Structure 1
Amino acid sequence: MRWTRWIVPFLVLPAAGCSLLYPFDLPDAADGTVEADGGDGEAEAPPVCGDGVVAAPEVCDTALAPEPCTTACGSTGAWSCAADCRTRSCAAPVDESCNGADDDCDGSTDEGYECAAGLPVDCTSPCGVTGTATCTVTCERPPPWECRTGTELCNGCDDNRDGATDEGCACATGWAVEHPLAPGPESLQAISMTDRFGVVVGTFGNILHYDGTSWRRVASPAPHNMKTVFVSSPTFAVAAGFGAALARWDGTSWTTDTEVSSLVSVALYSVFVLARDNIWVSGGSGTMLHWDGAAWSRSDTHTVQHLYEVFAFGPNDIYVGGRSGTILHWDGSDWASIAPGWITDDVDAIWGADPGTVYLAGGNGLIVRYEPGEDRWTDLSVPTGESFTSMDGSSATNIWAAGGFAGGAIAHFDGASWSLDPSWPSIDRRGPMGLSVVGDDVYAVMHDGGILHRDAAGVWQPMAGAATVRLRSIWGASPQDVYASGVATTAGGSSTATAVLRYDGASWSLPHWLPRTDAQGLWVAAPNDVYLAEAGGTIPYWDGVRWTNLTLPVWGVRLAGIWGHDAANIFVVGQQATGDMAPAAFRGPAAPWRALALRPEALGIGLTAAHGVSADDLWVVGEAGTIARRAAGEDYLDQLASGTTETLRGVWAASATEAFAVGDNGTILHWDGTAWTPMTTSADPWYGVRLYAVWGTSAGNVFAVGEGGTALRYDGVAWAPLPVDLLDDLRGVWGSSANNVFFVADDRSGKIVHRCGASW
Structure 2
Amino acid sequence: MNPAWTHRVEVSLAALLGLILGACVAPLSLDDRSCPCGDGWTCCEATQMCVQPGATCQQSQQPPAVAPTLCLDENWCWENPTPHAHYYRAVWASAPNDVWAVGAPGMATHWDGQNWKIHRSATDQSLLALFGTGPEDVWAVGREGAVVRWNGKAWQAVGTGLTQLLLAVWGSSPEDIWVVGSGGALLHWNGTDWSRPPDALPHYYTGIWGFAPDDVRVISAEGNVWRWNGQAWVPEPGFASDRVWSLSGAEGVLWALDEKVDEGIWRVLRFVKGEWQVVHEERRRFTSIAALSADEAWVAGPEGAALHIGPEGIALNFLDVPENLAHVWASREAGLWMVGDSGQVMRKTDTGWVSMREGASKTVLGGWELNAAEAWSCGEQGMLLRWREGAWSTLASGTGAALHDVWGASPEEVWAVGAEETIVRSDGTAAALRRHVPGGAALRGIWGSGPTDIWAVGAQGRILHYDGQDWSVRESPTSVTLNQVWGTDARNVWAVGELGTLLHHDGTTWKVVSLEKPTRQAFRDVWGTGPDDVWVVGAQGSIRHFDGKRWETPVPFAKGELVGIWGTGPSDLYVLEAGEELVQGIPKAFTNLHHYDGKTWKGAAVPYGGRFNALWGAGKEPRIGGAGGSILHYQP
TM-score, reference length from structure 1:
0.54
User: AA paired with 1:621?
Assistant: V
Structure 1 residue 199: deviation in Å?
A: 0.7
Check if 1:321 corresponds to 2:219: yes
- Which of the numbers 329, 333, 345 marks the counterpart of 1:453? 345
CA pair 335-433 structure 1, distance change in 2 beyond 3 A: same
**Percentage of identical aligned residues:** 18
Equivalent in the alignment of 1:477: 370
Farther off after superposition, 456-465 or 651-660: 456-465
User: AA paired with 1:170?
Assistant: E
CA distance in 2, matches of 1:458, 1:568: 51
CA distance in 2, matches of 1:728, 1:356: 39
Checking the alignment, whether the CA contact within 8 Å between 1:686 and 1:710 is kept in structure 2 is no
Equivalent in the alignment of 1:5: none
Deviations 1:425-469 (A, max 9, x none): 56xxxx8764446999753245xxx422357899998946997x7
Higher alpha-carbon Rg = 1
Checking the alignment, whether the CA contact within 8 Å between 1:266 and 1:283 is kept in structure 2 is no
Checking the alignment, whether the CA contact within 8 Å between 1:710 and 1:729 is kept in structure 2 is no
The aligned runs of 1:260-659 (5 Å cut-off) are 269-272=167-170, 281-283=178-180, 285=184, 287=186, 303-304=200-201, 305=203, 307-311=205-209, 319-328=217-226, 337-343=235-241, 345-351=242-248, 358-361=255-258, 364=261, 366-373=266-273, 375-378=275-278, 380=280, 382-383=282-283, 390-392=288-290, 399-402=298-301, 412-415=306-309, 425=322, 434-436=327-329, 443-446=338-341, 450-454=342-346, 463=357, 471-479=364-372, 487=380, 498=383, 517-523=401-407, 531-539=415-423, 548-552=431-435, 554-555=437-438, 556-565=440-449, 571-575=455-459, 581=460, 583-587=462-466, 593-599=470-476, 602=478, 604-614=479-489, 618-623=493-498, 625-629=501-505, 631=507, 638-643=510-515, 644=518, 646=520, 647-656=522-531, 658-659=533-534
Local SS of the residue matching 1:218: strand
CA distance in 1, matches of 2:414, 2:297: 39
Structure 1 residue 572: deviation in Å?
A: 3.2
Deviations 1:695-716 (A, max 9, x none): 3334565444445457666666
User: AA paired with 2:343?
Assistant: I
Local SS of the residue matching 1:170: coil
- What residue ranges of structure 2 are gaps of 5+ in the alignment? 1-65, 580-590
- Which of the numbers 724, 741, 754 marks the counterpart of 2:604? 724
Local SS of the residue matching 1:598: coil
Deviations 1:275-301 (A, max 9, x none): x6996635365847598xx99999979
CA distance in 2, matches of 1:597, 1:651: 20
CA distance in 2, matches of 1:283, 1:689: 37
Checking the alignment, whether the CA contact within 8 Å between 1:730 and 1:743 is kept in structure 2 is yes
Checking the alignment, whether the CA contact within 8 Å between 1:557 and 1:584 is kept in structure 2 is no
Structure 1 residue 665: deviation in Å?
A: 5.8
CA pair 282-389 structure 1, distance change in 2 beyond 3 A: farther
CA pair 230-336 structure 1, distance change in 2 beyond 3 A: same
Check if 1:694 corresponds to 2:578: no
Deviations 1:553-585 (A, max 9, x none): 64434121233456776543323xxxxx56142
CA pair 308-376 structure 1, distance change in 2 beyond 3 A: closer
Local SS of the residue matching 1:400: strand
Local SS of the residue matching 2:222: helix
CA pair 594-228 structure 1, distance change in 2 beyond 3 A: same
CA distance in 2, matches of 1:321, 1:584: 62
Higher strand share: 2
CA distance in 2, matches of 1:244, 1:207: 14
- What residue ranges of structure 1 are gaps of 5+ in the alignment? 1-151, 155-167, 403-407, 488-495, 576-580
CA distance in 1, matches of 2:487, 2:407: 13
Equivalent in the alignment of 1:679: 552
Local SS of the residue matching 1:324: coil
CA distance in 2, matches of 1:483, 1:619: 22
CA distance in 2, matches of 1:177, 1:534: 28
Which structure carries more relative contact order (alpha carbon 8 Å, separation 6+)? Answer: 2
CA pair 380-613 structure 1, distance change in 2 beyond 3 A: same
Local SS of the residue matching 1:325: coil
User: AA paired with 1:453?
Assistant: V
CA distance in 2, matches of 1:393, 1:548: 47
CA pair 712-297 structure 1, distance change in 2 beyond 3 A: closer
Structure 1 residue 608: deviation in Å?
A: 1.8
CA distance in 1, matches of 2:113, 2:410: 30
Deviations 1:595-642 (A, max 9, x none): 241255x4x3333212223467543333452414262xxxx7532434
Checking the alignment, whether the CA contact within 8 Å between 1:562 and 1:572 is kept in structure 2 is yes
Structure 1 residue 376: deviation in Å?
A: 4.8
CA pair 216-563 structure 1, distance change in 2 beyond 3 A: farther
Check if 1:741 corresponds to 2:601: no
Structure 1 residue 210: deviation in Å?
A: 2.3
- Which of the numbers 93, 109, 116 marks the counterpart of 1:208? 109
Deviations 1:645-701 (A, max 9, x none): 74433222433555333344655445566x6x43117xx335986543333334565
CA pair 474-296 structure 1, distance change in 2 beyond 3 A: same
Local SS of the residue matching 2:237: coil
Structure 1 residue 372: deviation in Å?
A: 0.5
Checking the alignment, whether the CA contact within 8 Å between 1:241 and 1:268 is kept in structure 2 is yes
CA distance in 2, matches of 1:246, 1:710: 27
Deviations 1:223-273 (A, max 9, x none): 89865323677x4552143779563554xx247699x979x9999754456
User: AA paired with 1:650?
Assistant: D
